């Protein structure tokens, strides 16, 4: 399983992904799910992947190979908008489906994959997309400025309560880490280390990347403060009178 | 969709269910999912139902009809343990599967249903079971003293943080209501009113039942206090230094 989240803020993008992959419970490994395509100062595009690892690795590899292919055609370093970038990744997803879809079906395996694409190309604002297994995609907007893939539910309530489009980057990072803590506590197939990427608006560089282990002091402090704070708030809430039996 | 939760405490049981049913988004109705079988002072058995409403209503109806059937046989008012009670409900589930399973399959509809069974029969402790669509079932234990069915994920983190087997009933009620608030905010197919039942140990009566509407003052106060408290805790947590970009 996987948990990835992308948040689209006025000040930029906050992205995070866990690193656990598993095929059954007896084959567990660490695999990064955050993939960076960068032309420093001109564009930065980040893919966060969830679903069947063979599919998503193939999609990312196809996108990498296109960069140096002699065939020409659009790729992530030459498209002029994030919309086109999402279309390039969607096409790569369809190529993998064309190659592997029938064989997977014959083995009773769903073609399950989804990819968050986030970043900025000079001349555009930061943008955030969710690309589905069918290669189609949706874009986040200021009204609901986040997208999640993978094991999304445990970590959604805190995001719904805290995140607005105008939220500060540092607050969004805190919120994302709490969202990961809730998810990791509830689903052992999501696990540290967590990769966090901050893409400040108009910086167009992927140089704010952080990998948090379980024992990272910032993460530990945040988890402890949050857990204790929740218990304090909980204790302070009034009992409904009728619950005193 | 549905959300039901049962909590097995040293002092008794706390049970709650929402009341929204829907067939598509254009057919939404209020239907109670909490069904009480009671012989006051001797036994109280409560069923909370999730899944296909035609299936779960049939199961509950079969269990009711058995009470007055001339055929004899075990039913919820004569079995001598909650384990047997779970078996009776599991058998009713299998009868419905035998009657409807093939037809549902022919229409491409999953046989989807699950039932929490909770209560106490004199001579036993309070017990809590989850009965699956196949009629088999599991029992909650002191180590993980709760069971959920339906839309379980949004409301799970707060239960995991707060609930122990020795938690007081009033605290468990508070926790359950917060768990419902998180779920209702994230999934519009779960909705008020919420039915809450408290079964204090050895009381053997279903006389602590409460229906909470969205505007119930206790529920509103709790939701507001929790929401504001979370935001205060969140604001008080330190930013990781590296997130200040």
Q: Does A161 contact B230 at a Cβ distance shorter than 8 Å?
A: yes
Distance, CA of A7 to CA of A198 (rounded, Å): 10
Q: B234 to chain A, minimum CA–CA distance in Å?
A: 7
Which range marks the domain in which residue A197 is found? 3-234
This prediction's pTM:
0.91
pLDDT digits (tens, 9 = 90+) for B96-144: 999 999 999 999 999 999 999 999 999 999 999 999 999 999 999 999 9
- Chain B nearest-CA residue for A167: B235
Indicate the pLDDT class of residue A189, thresholds 50, 70 and 90. confident
Is residue B52 one of the residues assigned to a domain?
Answer: yes
CATH of the domain at A209: 3.60.20.10
Count structural domains, chain A.
Answer: 1
Is residue B76 one of the residues assigned to a domain?
Answer: yes
- What beta strand segments (E) does A112-227 contain? 113-121, 127-131, 137-139, 146-150, 194-200, 209-212
Is residue A243 one of the residues assigned to a domain?
Answer: no
Is residue A178 one of the residues assigned to a domain?
Answer: yes
A86-101 burial, b if ≥16 CB within 10 A, otherwise e? bbbbbbbbbebbeebe
Is residue B243 one of the residues assigned to a domain?
Answer: no
Q: B64 to chain A, minimum CA–CA distance in Å?
A: 29
Q: What is the number of other CB atoms lying within 10 angstroms of the CB of residue B98? A: 9
Q: Does B173 contact A240 at a Cβ distance shorter than 8 Å?
A: yes
Is residue A146 one of the residues assigned to a domain?
Answer: yes
Q: Secondary structure of chain A: what % helix, strand, coil (to 5)?
A: 35, 25, 35
- Chain A nearest-CA residue for B175: A234
Here the ipTM equals: 0.88
Q: Does A238 contact B222 at a Cβ distance shorter than 8 Å?
A: yes
Is residue B241 one of the residues assigned to a domain?
Answer: no
pLDDT digits (tens, 9 = 90+) for A98-154: 999 999 999 999 999 999 999 999 999 999 999 999 999 999 999 999 999 999 999
Q: What is the mean pLDDT of residues B4-22?
A: 95
- Chain A nearest-CA residue for B212: A240
Is residue A102 one of the residues assigned to a domain?
Answer: yes
Q: Taking 90 as the threshold, does the pLDDT of residue B245 lie above it? A: no
Indicate the pLDDT class of residue A26, thresholds 50, 70 and 90. confident
Q: Which residues of B touch A158 (CB under 8 A)?
A: 230
Q: What is the mean pLDDT of residues A59-72?
A: 95
Token couple for B43: 């036994």
Distance, CA of A210 to CA of B81 (rounded, Å): 55
């Amino acid at each position: 399983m996987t948990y990835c989240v992308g948040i689209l803020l006025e000040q930029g993008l906050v992205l995070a992904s866990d690193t656990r992959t598993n095929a059954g419970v007896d084959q567990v490994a660490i695999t990064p799910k955050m993939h960076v395509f960068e032309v420093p100062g001109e564009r930065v595009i980040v893919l966060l992947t969830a679903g069947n690892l063979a599919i998503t690795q193939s999609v990312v590899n196809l996108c990498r190979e296109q960069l140096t292919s002699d065939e020409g055609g659009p790729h992530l370093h030459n498209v002029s908008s994030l919309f086109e970038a999402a279309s390039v990744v969607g096409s790569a997803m369809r190529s993998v489906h064309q190659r592997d879809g029938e064989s997977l079906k014959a083995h009773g395996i769903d073609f399950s994959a989804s990819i968050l694409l986030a970043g900025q190309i000079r001349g555009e604002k930061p943008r955030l997309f969710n690309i589905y297994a069918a290669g189609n995609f949706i874009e986040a907007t200021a009204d609901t400025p986040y997208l999640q893939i993978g094991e999304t539910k445990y970590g959604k309530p805190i995001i719904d309560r805290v995140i607005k489009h105008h939220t500060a980057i540092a607050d969004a990072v805190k919120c994302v880490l709490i969202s990961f803590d809730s998810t990791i506590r509830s689903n052992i197939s999501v696990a540290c280390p967590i990769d966090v990427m901050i893409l400040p608006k108009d910086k167009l560089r992927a140089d704010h990347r952080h990998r948090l282990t379980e024992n990272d002091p910032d993460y530990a402090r945040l988890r402890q403060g949050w857990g204790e704070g929740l218990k304090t708030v909980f204790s302070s809430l009034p009992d409904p009178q009728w619950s005193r039996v």
